[in-house]
Amino acid sequence: MDNRLMSEQDLRDVTGLRRHKLQAAWLQRHFGLTPVQRADGRIILTWAAFEALQAKRAGVLPGAAQPDNRPALVPLRRAA
């Protein structure tokens, strides 16, 4: 596990944005995460946390098999 913090440049490379507020909005939009921020607005995020967010989004978390408890699909109308 990589517990290093993402640098300013790392966050720019990942989000494509320079401003801290816009980077936070990007993380919220793509991962549903409100990131921890320092008093000056810089985001505090480890590489391990970012990689876990990516794995969760892709649905490939190890050992996290999703039970298939979705209801059966029912057609609204018959095809002609």
Contact yes or no for 26/6 (Cβ under 8 A)? no
Residue 51's pLDDT is 93
Q: Which tokens hold the place of 75?
A: 């057609």
What's the whole-model pTM score?
0.72
pLDDT surpassing 60 at residue 80: yes
With cut-offs at 50, 70 and 90, classify the pLDDT of residue 39.
very high
Cβ neighbours for 61, distance < 8 A, ≥ 6 positions apart: 52, 55
Residue 71's pLDDT is 79
